[in-house]
Amino acid sequence: MDSSKLGSVPEEEQHREESNKPVVSAFASLPDRRPTKSSEKYSPLDWSGFFDGEEDVCIPDSNDVFHLYMAGTEGPVVFCLHGGGYSGLSFALSASKIKEKARVVAMDLRGHGKSSTENDLDLSIETMCNDVFAVLKALYGDSPPAIVLVGHSMGGSVAVHIAAKKTLRSLAGLVVVDVVEGTAMASLVHMQKILSGRMQHFSSIEKAIEWSDRGGSLRNIDSARVSIPTTLKYDDSKNCYVYRARLEETEQYWRGWYEGLSEKFLSSPVPKLLLLAGTDRLDRALTIGQMQGKFQMVVVRHTGHAIQEDVPDEFATLIINFISRNRIGPHGVEIPGLARPNPAQAQGQSPAQTKS
């Protein structure tokens, strides 16, 4: 079974034996260890070399705090949602390229990275969608800029569900990365075995990065050096690093991530791009939709499940070209010859109608 299209949890892991998802607030409370000469290749890289800044967004009337990484100053907002077990830093290397043409916001989803919520195990699709809506509201109020949702694996499911609700009026584009409903649903039965079969403990962050590299879950060592640390946390009781995301305890939500995903994707009223890692079987709905020209599909060769990490330059180029092809500007779709409406008018329009 081809696992390149699974849902985040499952998918990543499957894609090269188990996709690894270290997680963490790693640089916070961990012992200060100096890398040995043999581990220098796997030493962590700081996110600041790729993003311009980070921010914690506190959600009103709750104790939820979501961590964001941000880059760029102009253009539409490319809002990135990572897969299960990853973190916002999964998009670090690609963000450093995308920010030349657009703004980038990469969010640590609930139970991942440096985000902290009242219930980190509630990874239901509705809860994660509500989290994204709450963060967008906190960032932009009632006048959000044009948003291009980019979701990988589990994050792709969240992006599709948000788009299908048709309530984010500034949504101007949808990019789904390596997740197809049929393959993901068929793979769920194997997920617990995959999760339990991966290495569970690491003596150092360098060892976790080395494991992801040698195991093949990530194929770009520089990306692994940036993204892996925030997928881990230090366990004082075990004197080692363990996964930040407790994916094995969220099984009750997995089916909800992917059921009906193809129809929701096709029903989303914005330009759509599906990126796949290698050839994969499209289900009937997607096959018909592709034949009808309802979305653009690109098969990215020589990459694993985490396309944005394995080939970040190619991924960034695909995102930039998608924005350019669909004329997505900071205020929505740009139509030559038509003046940009004022903000009050734009609020009453759909993303496709908003001009700049």
Q: What is the pLDDT of residues 106-147, one digit of tens each?
A: 999 999 999 999 999 999 999 999 999 999 999 999 999 999
| Phi, psi for 293 (deg, rounded to 5) | 75, 30
Q: Confidence band (pLDDT; 50, 70, 90) for 261?
A: very high
Q: Is residue 134 part of a domain?
A: yes
Instruction: Give the residue with greater pLDDT, 229 vs 351.
Output: 229
171-182 average pLDDT score = 96
At a CB cut-off of 8 Å and minimum separation 6, what does 245 contact? 21, 23, 84, 85, 111, 112, 231
Active site residue 302: no
In a domain, 338, yes or no: no
Pairing state of beta strands 103-107 and 171-177? Answer: unpaired
| 264 within a domain of the structure (yes/no) | yes
Catalytic annotation present for 52: no
Give the range of the structural domain holding residue 97, as residue numbers without chain letter.
Answer: 53-327
Instruction: Give domain status of residue 154, yes or no.
Output: yes
Domain containing residue 150: CATH number: 3.40.50.1820
Point out the catalytic residue in the list 64, 108, 131, 178: 178
Task: Say how many domains are in the chain.
Answer: 1
Catalytic residue among 67, 112, 152, 305: 305
Question: Is 260 among the domain residues?
Answer: yes
Asked if residue 112 belongs to a domain, the reply is: yes
Model pTM score? 0.85
320 neighbors 98 (Cβ within 8 angstroms): yes
61 is catalytic: no
Contact between residue 124 and residue 130 where contact means Cβ atoms under 8 Å apart: no
Find the catalytic residue in 87, 153, 170, 223: 153
